């Protein structure tokens, strides 16, 4: 008869039942096969060029970083490097930071060639009235239709509808007190003007009379329009 003493579970007394260190380590570290993103393995600058070739509006570094599985700072640095490189090489296209994002544009020096090919002699430009109305909105926004009409001295409802249809302006809430709809320029306006933001609009103050004086004269014949008290 064996002298070995067993416990209630039938395990010989003195036998080590604790898991071995290597066994515990294997249990705590599950085997997970992680595969690198296909886009993360692509050369960054050519990948950026490929994406930017198909965008139809400026795209942010954060969006590009998400698509290409990179850090936003890395994307931003590469975009600036590409833009500088195209300028030094005198390429016919330009990579510009416009309206909060990046997009390829025709370099200004080669615009006539592109216009000749795309427009074939027919250009759909804004009328003088539309340009003047758009300028009022850009510099006075958010602004109501009645105020735009007062500044220009003519009814601008039709022109405002045209600017809305072209996506250059959009509604921006209502005016306190009157409930009139207010309008502002859009990101598309910044994009078409090649501006990063409204702070890049040229300063017009040296070339224009005081705004209050203009509105005071323009409101003649528009009795329903109330001029704001401005100091």
Q: What is the largest CA-CA distance in the chain?
A: 123
Residue with tokens 């500044």: 151
The pLDDT of residue 214: 45
Residue with tokens 């850009």: 138
The pLDDT of residue 71: 94
- What are the 10-residue block averages of pLDDT along the chain, 231 residues in total? 48 50 42 62 94 91 94 96 96 92 92 77 72 92 91 88 91 88 92 86 62 46 36 32
Integer CA distances (angstroms), 79 to 39, 45, 87, 92, 174, in order: 17, 8, 12, 17, 39
The residues, ordered by sequence, that sit 6+ positions from 229 with a Cβ below 8 Å of its Cβ are none
Q: 3-state class of 24 per DSSP?
A: helix
Strands 143-144 and 101-106: unpaired
Residue 227 per-residue DSSP state: P
Integer CA distances (angstroms), 138 to 119, 185, 187, 224, 230, in order: 27, 6, 12, 24, 19
The pLDDT of residue 160: 92
In DSSP terms, 56 is beta-bridged to: none
């Amino acid at each position: 008869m064996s002298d070995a003493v067993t416990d209630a579970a039938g395990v010989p007394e003195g036998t080590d039942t604790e898991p071995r260190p290597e066994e515990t380590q294997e249990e705590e570290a599950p085997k997970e096969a992680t595969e690198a993103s296909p886009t993360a393995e692509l050369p960054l600058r050519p990948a950026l060029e490929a994406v930017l070739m198909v965008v139809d509006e400026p795209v942010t570094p954060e969006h590009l970083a998400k698509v290409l599985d990179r850090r936003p700072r890395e994307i931003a640095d590469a975009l600036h490097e590409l833009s500088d490189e195209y300028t030094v090489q005198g390429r016919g296209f330009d990579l510009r930071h416009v309206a909060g994002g990046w997009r390829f544009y025709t370099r200004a020096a080669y615009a006539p060639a592109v216009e000749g090919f795309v427009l074939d002699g027919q250009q759909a430009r804004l009328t003088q009235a539309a340009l003047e109305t758009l300028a009022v909105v850009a510099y006075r926004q958010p602004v109501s239709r009645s105020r735009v009409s007062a500044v220009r001295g003519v009814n601008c409802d039709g022109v405002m509808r045209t600017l809305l249809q072209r996506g250059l302006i959009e509604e921006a809430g209502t005016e306190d007190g009157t409930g009139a709809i207010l309008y502002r320029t859009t990101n598309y306006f910044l994009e078409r003007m090649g501006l990063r933001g409204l702070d890049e609009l040229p300063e017009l103050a040296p070339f224009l009379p005081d705004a209050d004086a203009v509105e005071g004269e323009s409101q003649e014949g528009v009795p329903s329009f109330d001029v704001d008290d401005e100091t």
